[in-house]
Structure 1
Amino acid sequence: MRIISGKAGRIAIKVPKAVTRPTTDFVRQAVFSILGPRVEDARILDLFAGSGALGLEALSRGAASCVFVDEHRAVEKVLKENLEKSRLEGGRMAKADVHSWVQRDNGSYDMIFVDPPYAKYPSDRDHLKELFAKGALAQRLAEEGLMVVEQSIGEAVREGEGLKFLERREYGSSAILLYARAEDS
């Protein structure tokens, strides 16, 4: 796994093996091709950060800042190492449960990356359903902001309180969904 482009392009990053399913280079390249120059000077929120690949890519491409949120200790350690190795500035780790962190945060973000663990079994926690039902994501998204959700290709498009679905693109077994704030939010 590596940072694809920008200031830290080609730098290899670590992945915490037991607790993540990292976004592939192919999917990240596609996402950042869609985002284009919107990334420059953006305030980023990377939820379920894992290795931090999405947020690190954004910082490498000129984002002003990125808050990485994940609850796993292994993620915190690896992400700090990845930030140090890449020498990217503006990254900050928040070791916390994503759901409670989003509810208490009062920041405004130009871009929010949401890449929760895929629900493999009916009894697995449906993180997207919970986050979308609470409406907190729309409150964190800046007026002209964009939210990028990665989910399994088999999952349906979600409607989120205060969010407007824009488009869906499929890459292998992953689907990328783009959302903006609903006009009445």
Structure 2
Amino acid sequence: MIDSIPPVVPAGRMRELAQPELALSGGMLLRPWTPYDAPTLVAAHADPDIRHWNRPSRLDLAGAEARIARWHERWQAEKAGTWAIAPEGGGAVGLVGLADIDLAGGSGEILYWLLPAGRGTGITVKAADRLARWAFDDLGLHRVRITHSVANPASCAVATKAGFPLEGTMRGALLHADGWHDEHLHARLRTDATP
């Protein structure tokens, strides 16, 4: 009989780490969401593009504050980490997160969205790359993936530029308001070269 395989990242590792601020170039950073960001979250959940590609439910201010509180609880439960993309000292212009975390298996999935004010700046590429480097170097994951609808070429470009090669297409993988979408699967390994 073979001994069981030890976990890639031991349980408790993420909870032991304070959710960090991660610097990006150009005076931008990734930081934990705060209750002061609730109005931005309400606006994001009303944005047609964010609603189409990310399928969020509509939120009021109280719902946004509760969602932010749940994100902090999910960090402590080692299930997910959610960061605001923001200028230093400023309000959030987007979100990047590490979800579906499997510490024992050493994997997770990056997700992101950006409000219109931040679009076209390349900041999402920097955010996805920076979060992947944190997931590998500080948390200790082995594999991080990004999935998106094949009908969303902007998200495909973000994933590719952030160093996540396209691995394939998952057929009928996600239900959107306009029907089932095939999804691209991109992934990056800890051993891959940094883009």
What band does the TM-score fall into relative to the shorter chain? 0.3 to 0.5
TM-score by length of 1: 0.37
Structure with bigger gyration radius: 2
